[in-house]
């Protein structure tokens, strides 16, 4: 019997090629989109699965209250490590202090590479369960050792692993390679970690690190832990949350609360608002999960619509089967079998579409997803996916077709009721409601990105490059390099800074100034700069002046941004003084000599942070910021600057970044989401139009004789086109009316997460509505005009 069902189903497919093609195509595209979204979601949810101890690894975060606002982050003070080891060691398997990831120069022989890495305590390789391909697991036990990733080792030593070899780090320290670990895959934390140096070596490299061990207010480090197998994160958090407040009386005013953020939340749920976990990338996972379900639903709606629309074609078959004894359950099973066959064929085509476009999808989503041929889980889910889709697409047509009265069918009196088309109309409205909402949503996301890109950044980032110089070899040479860069003709100006212009590396407090409110707890972004700061960066000076060599006192001067002046409540700031109460020389004040327009350094979607720029007396520069000569090509400028750099530092690779590209990278995440949304919106529209095309074709076929009579009686092509198109246009207009307020509300809520945001403008709705109507007219018009221009003699010949 089952064989017979599938034989009849296959014959129906062959007999109705056009409708079968539309059904299979729509379902295949819908299923392919859903599969790709599913693979993307699986990749997102599997982030950090490389680490076998993932469920027990956490990072220590802290929340602090400043001026009634709670800030949360992973920066912690060094004494916390000692407190945990002393009083809470029985809760942890590993307690690992770590630096922030930063690039360093690694040199062996004549080869020098520039790679990101961390300083960590010696238990890190075990906690992270790094796969050691050469050397020992405890490769950080010796002070002057270093562990390398396979890629870094290959770059330095070629085909050998380099064990026992001495490499020079930042042209300062000689460290011996004790282990090589397998590269950590892309979708994992620490995937960029190309080396690890011992913590006990790191804390001897800079003077400030020696006294940081007693400073509870110096939040300059990271702390990772692995809790014991019999513990849970919440219980351990409860034990440690007040350590900082209890250990240092000065901290009580900030009400510091420590907690463990599990590794499973680092990537997906790392956003906090006023001390409360507020999601993160998990929102994108939910978003695309919903989009995937809607796209599959749109494809299933096509199947339902076309199956029920052609009900009269199957009525006689149903009548005969019922009259010879077929039960309704058997008919339902037959129609579900047909649905299963179509879905199975669609799934095969969907797999082909996924394989064809997977590389492009990876490029678009910045992923390295591989099709899971060998995954039993994937194929089990696929079988379930086919069964559920078959039921979703075929259940209503099966129930509807099997309900026909055999007597009226066989007497020839069966006709679809006046409300038979109502469910189809509702489904068409649903399709276009979803499609239009996706169009509006995508346009709003694109507008928000462009709005933020157009935001004034407060400096001229075009023609500006930054060169990392984080090595003692560069100390004290900023002035010499500036003169030589300018003399080469490749640069107009240069300034050294303690941080890149696209990031805040240091936040400071402990300042006093005239008129400071009692109990005010300031938090200022701090950057050290050289004399040519305002000239090189192209800053707009609001009041006062920039640093100048003409004033010897500028070595004790400070420049504030506009937000800092308002934040600190300083009126007429020029000439006023700021004292650093935390320094050993509290009587040496900083004089405010200038106020500059706000610089957008951190997120382009957030308010500008209050910032101060102080003169760099010690010339501990981290970046050379070079303004290229606009009268020459960029290639020529870079060649001249590289020659100067290589002359002075022959053993260090010339590495640079364009500041506008670094700033543009801040939009990458949102741009990827917008690109993915665009693709899936186009697919949703395609599927909806495919169904509309099928329905228009069916309606035109159903009204063939009516059209022939109207043509004979003198109806024009335009009148016939309007006759066949107006019903569909009406349905799309209804969809627009429903989708517009729905999309307005949803996107309005989405925009709330951005402090600097655009609005949901009327132009978005005009574009979406006009576009939907044009697409509908184009889709329907093909069949309408084809029917209107057909020869009426052929359609009326049988009468």
**Cβ contacts of 34 within 8 Å, gap of 6 or more:** 292, 293, 295, 296, 385
Q: Which of 568, 521, 569, 561 is nearest to 541 (CA)?
A: 561
Q: Which residues contact 217 (CB under 8 A, 6 or more apart)?
A: 77, 248, 250, 251, 509, 510, 582
Confidence band of 408 (pLDDT split at 50, 70, 90): low
Q: How far apart are CA 217 and CA 350, in angstroms?
A: 57
Cβ atoms of residues 521 and 67 within 8 Å? yes
The pLDDT tens digits for 767-776 are: 888 888 888 8
Backbone angles phi, psi at 94, to 5 degrees: -140, 140
Helices (H) and strands (E) in the chain, counts: 26, 26
- Quick one: which of 290, 433, 295 has its CA closest to 741? 433
The pLDDT tens digits of the residues spanning 615-642 come to: 988 777 889 999 999 999 999 999 999 9
Q: 193 vs 108, 148, 160, 750, CA distance in Å?
A: 19, 9, 20, 34
Tell whether the model's pLDDT for residue 318 goes beyond 70.
no
**Higher confidence at residue 205 or residue 335?**
205
546 DSSP assignment? -
CA 511 from chain centre, in angstroms, equals 37
Distance CA 326, CA 332 (A): 10
Report the relative pairing of strands 145-149 and 132-135 from DSSP bridges. unpaired
Neighbouring-strand partners of residue 92? 227
Across 480-506, b (16+ Cβ under 10 Å) vs e yields ebbebbbebebbbbbbbbbbbbbeeee
Global pTM value: 0.84
pLDDT tens, residue by residue, 705-743: 676 777 677 677 777 777 777 878 888 899 999 999 999
Q: Rounded to whole angstroms, how far apart are CA atoms 471 and 465?
A: 19
Give every CB contact of residue 333 below 8 A, 6+ residues apart in sequence: 5, 398
Q: How many CB atoms lie under 10 A from the CB of residue 233?
A: 18
Beta carbons within 8 Å of 63's beta carbon, 6+ residues apart? 70, 71, 72, 256, 257, 259, 272, 275
Helices 376-401 and 311-323 pack at an angle, to 10 degrees, of 80
Residue pointed to by tokens 């109990």: 519
pLDDT in tens, 9-30: 566 666 667 667 777 888 899 8
- Taking the CA atoms of residue 506, residue 509, residue 512 and residue 517 in that order, the dihedral angle to the nearest 10 degrees is 130
């Amino acid at each position: 019997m089952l064989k017979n069902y599938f034989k009849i189903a296959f014959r129906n497919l062959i007999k109705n090629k056009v409708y079968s093609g539309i059904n299979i195509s729509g379902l295949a595209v819908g299923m392919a989109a859903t599969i790709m979204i599913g693979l993307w979601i699986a990749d997102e949810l599997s982030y950090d699965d490389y680490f076998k101890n993932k469920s027990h690894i956490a990072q220590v975060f802290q929340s602090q209250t400043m001026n009634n606002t709670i800030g949360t982050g992973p920066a912690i003070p060094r004494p916390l490590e000692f407190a945990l080891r002393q009083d809470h060691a029985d809760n942890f398997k590993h307690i690992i202090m770590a630096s922030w990831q930063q690039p360093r120069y690694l040199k062996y022989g004549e080869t020098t590479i520039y790679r990101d890495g961390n300083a960590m305590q010696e238990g890190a390789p075990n906690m992270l369960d790094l796969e050691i391909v050469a050397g020992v697991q405890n490769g950080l036990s010796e002070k002057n050792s270093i562990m390398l990733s396979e890629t870094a080792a290959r770059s330095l030593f070629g085909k050998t692993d380099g064990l026992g070899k001495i490499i020079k780090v930042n042209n300062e320290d000689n460290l011996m390679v004790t282990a090589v670990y397998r590269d950590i895959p892309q979708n994992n934390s620490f995937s960029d970690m190309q080396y690890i140096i011992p913590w006990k070596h790191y804390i001897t490299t800079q003077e400030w690190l020696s006294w940081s061990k007693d400073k509870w207010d110096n939040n300059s480090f990271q702390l990772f832990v692995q809790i014991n197998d019999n513990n849970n994160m919440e219980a351990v958090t409860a034990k440690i949350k007040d350590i900082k407040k209890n250990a240092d009386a000065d901290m009580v005013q900030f009400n510091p609360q420590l907690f463990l953020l599990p590794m499973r939340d680092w990537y997906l749920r790392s956003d906090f608002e006023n001390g409360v976990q507020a999601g993160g990338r998990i929102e994108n996972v939910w978003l695309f999960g919903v989009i995937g379900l809607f796209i599959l639903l749109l494809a299933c709606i096509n199947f339902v619509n076309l199956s029920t629309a052609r009900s009269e074609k199957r009525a006689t078959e149903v009548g005969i089967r019922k009259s010879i004894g077929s039960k309704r359950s058997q008919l339902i099973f037959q129609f579900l079998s047909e649905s299963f066959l179509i879905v199975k064929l669609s799934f095969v085509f969907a797999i082909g579409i996924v394989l064809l476009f997977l590389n492009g999808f990876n490029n678009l989503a910045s992923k390295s997803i591989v099709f899971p041929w060998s995954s039993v889980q994937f194929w089990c889910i696929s079988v379930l996916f086919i069964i559920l889709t078959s039921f979703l697409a075929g259940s209503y047509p099966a129930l509807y077709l099997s309900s026909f009265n055999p007597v009226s069918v066989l007497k020839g009196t069966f006709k679809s009721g006046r409300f038979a088309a109502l469910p189809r109309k509702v489904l068409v409205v649903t399709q276009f409601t979803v499609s239009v909402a996706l169009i509006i949503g995508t346009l709003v996301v694109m507008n928000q990105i462009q709005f933020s890109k157009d935001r004034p950044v407060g400096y001229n980032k075009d023609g500006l490059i930054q060169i990392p110089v984080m090595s003692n070899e560069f100390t004290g040479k900023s002035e010499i390099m500036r003169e030589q860069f300018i003399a080469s003709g490749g640069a107009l100006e240069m300034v050294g800074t303690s941080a890149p212009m696209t990031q805040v590396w240091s936040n400071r407090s402990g300042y006093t100034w005239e008129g400071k409110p009692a109990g005010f707890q300031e938090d200022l972004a701090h950057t050290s700069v050289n004399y040519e700061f305002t000239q090189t960066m192209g800053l707009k000076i609001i009041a006062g002046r920039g640093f100048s060599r003409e004033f010897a006192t500028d070595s004790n001067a400070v420049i504030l941004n506009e937000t800092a002046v308002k934040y600190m409540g300083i009126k007429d700031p020029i000439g006023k003084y700021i004292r650093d109460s935390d320094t050993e020389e509290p009587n040496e004040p900083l004089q405010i000599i200038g106020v500059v327009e706000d610089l957008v350094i951190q997120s382009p979607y957030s308010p500008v942070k209050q910032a101060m720029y102080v003169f760099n007396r010690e010339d501990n520069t981290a970046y050379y910021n070079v303004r290229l000569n606009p009268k020459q090509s960029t290639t020529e400028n870079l060649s001249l600057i590289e020659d100067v750099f290589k002359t002075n530092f022959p053993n260090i690779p010339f590495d640079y970044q364009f500041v506008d590209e670094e700033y543009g990278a801040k939009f990458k995440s949102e741009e990827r989401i917008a690109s993915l949304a665009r693709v899936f919106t186009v697919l949703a529209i395609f599927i909806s139009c495919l169904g509309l095309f099928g329905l228009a074709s069916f309606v035109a076929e159903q009204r063939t004789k009516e059209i022939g009579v109207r043509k004979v009686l003198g109806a024009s092509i335009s009148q016939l086109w309007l006759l066949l198109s107006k019903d569909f246009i009406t349905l799309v207009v209804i969809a627009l009316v429903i989708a517009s307020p729905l999309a307005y509300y949803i996107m309005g809520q989405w925009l709330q997460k951005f402090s600097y945001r655009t609005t949901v403008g009327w132009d978005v709705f005009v574009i979406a509505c006009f576009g939907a109507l044009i697409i509908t007219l184009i889709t329907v018009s093909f069949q309408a005009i084809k029917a209107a221009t057909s020869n009426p003699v052929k359609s009326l010949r049988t009468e």
